[in-house]
A and B are shown apart, each in its own frame.
Chain A
Amino acid sequence: MTRLPDDSSEHGHRTVPSEPALRVQALESLLIEKGLVDPAALDELVDLFENKVGPRNGALVVARAWLDPEFKRRLLADGTAAIAELGFSGRQGEKLTVVESTPSVHNVIVCTLCSCYPWPLLGLPPIWYKSSAYRARTVADPRGVLRELGLDVPDDVEVRVWDSNAASRYLVLPERPPGTEALGEAALAALVTRDAMIGVARVTLPVSERS
């Protein structure tokens, strides 16, 4: 199990726990004392969200969709039902809408009001996805945000921004990169990044694997 530092300090040499760490510890012991939370249930949940649910789930879904046109059709029609075939489910997974990026359409996901994100496929969101600037700018200047994050979208490609605010959660089905025709599911899934499934990057082949 991954161990996280007890403090969010980036310097890593602080030994005094941060103020929120102390407050959470106090809250947790109060709730356990009152019988309101089961410490074993907390451990289960921590393990689940720290180690079990994450972008590898989404990458497998993408690889399967690239290889199996029938699965892709089902995925685009009803994301929640299709990912259940692979055993993926959970909160923030209802009404999963998978949007396909093509040579003429690029999709990108944001939540302007909070941090809506497809937990069952990507885990919990990274800090930058929840940053004020990403939430503010992506709906109004998606091309500028993408350029800043290293992705230039040509003028003749349509950009579609998906602001998740209701029950729907979104996942981008990125384009399969050329030169991957011989790869199987696991090798394809290994190429698919969290950024590509949010829509702020393309899937690329590592330089060493390019022919």
Chain B
Amino acid sequence: MNGIHDMGGMHGLGEIGHSRDDPAFHAAWEVRVHALATALAAYGKWRALRPEIEAIPAAEYLRMSYYERWLAALVEEIAKSGLATRAEIERGAADAGFRRSVPALTADKARIAALATPREELAVRVETLFRVGQRVRGANLNPSTHTRMPRYTRGKVGVVERDRGVFALPDTDVYFGDPKPQHVYLVRFAADELWGSGASARDSIFIDMWQDYLEPA
């Protein structure tokens, strides 16, 4: 979707606020949100929190801190999947007569789950449409739903650097739709192709793109 999260190239978004020793977590609740998200992901009721994070209205998104967005998205997914009702979440206590579940992720499996490298690459053979060295153009796609194609690549010409293998298309797969297995290509865009003559002609931007995001140039 053409949402606020798709920020590449935008101006006016404030300071970077860089600090060399910035910790990964600034408050105890942040790492707990992260842990809750990992524990609940084991139910397989959602594929990623990103679509819900992207659905946060732009003004809210900019106002919220990073883990506040995670929390908001996690609450949405918990409510939509029926793991808990909104009333229960509001109250912080279960409805009378609730049925107790068995945790999907137990302590003995937690470390293994977090330290296992996922296998997102699919072991299926799918025809390759583009070859390394070929010029490709970012398609003019404007879905109102989840996509991993940043808008700054639309209509821009780049060169295929590498074939990453076959992956499910997140645009549909994230909603448990047709996974549309297809090749993902590492594409190199010249900085001045993306940003005009003000950019250094020497520089490039590299990005992985699903085949559906590309057309021959």
Contact = CB atoms under 8 A, between A and B. Distances in A.
A132 B9 CA distance: 11
Which of the listed residues B18, B50, B66, B92 has the most CB atoms from chain A within 10 Å of its own CB? B18
Contacts of B53: 114
A113 B75 CA distance: 21
A115 B121 contact: no
A145 interface: yes
Contacts of A130: 66
B117 A93 contact: yes
A50 interface: yes
From B19, B114, B195, B204, name the one whose CB has the most chain A CB atoms within 10 angstroms.
B114
Given A93-B117, A126-B22, A4 B164 contact: no
A190 interface: no
B123 interface: no
Contact of A8 (B11, B26, B32, B202): B26
A156 B200 CA distance: 10
B212 interface: no
A140 interface: yes
A28 to B, nearest CB: 6
Nearest to A95: B164
A159 B110 contact: no
Classify chain A: how many residues form its interface, as a range: 35 or more
B200 A143 contact: yes
Given A132-B7, A136-B9, A159-B203, A34 B98 contact: yes
Nearest to A96: B117
Interface stretch (A40-48, A66-74, A171-179): A40-48
Given A35-B101, A50-B31, A45 B208 contact: no
A204 to B, nearest CB: 12
A165 B66 contact: no
B194 A128 contact: no
A164 B186 CA distance: 10
A28 B27 CA distance: 16
Given A38-B107, A91-B114, A193-B20, A124 B27 contact: no
Given A125-B24, A128-B17, A30 B92 contact: yes
The 3 A-B residue pairs with the shortest CB-CB distance in the complex, in nearest-first order: A26-B92, A112-B8, A166-B208
Interface of A: 3-8, 18, 20-21, 23-31, 33-38, 40-46, 48-50, 54, 80, 84, 89-91, 93-95, 112-115, 120, 123-128, 130-137, 139-143, 145, 148-149, 155-168, 193-195, 200-201
8 contacts: A21-B29, A27-B92, A31-B84, A36-B84, A49-B24, A49-B25, A89-B117, A159-B204
Interface of B: 5-11, 13-20, 22-36, 38-40, 43, 50, 53, 62, 65-68, 71, 74-75, 78, 83-84, 88-89, 91-94, 98, 100-107, 109-111, 114-121, 148, 150, 152, 164-165, 167, 184, 186, 191, 194-195, 199-200, 202-210
Given A137-B16, A148-B16, A157-B202, 15 more contacts: A4-B26, A6-B29, A8-B65, A34-B100, A38-B39, A41-B35, A41-B106, A42-B35, A49-B24, A54-B24, A113-B5, A114-B53, A132-B62, A142-B203, A163-B150
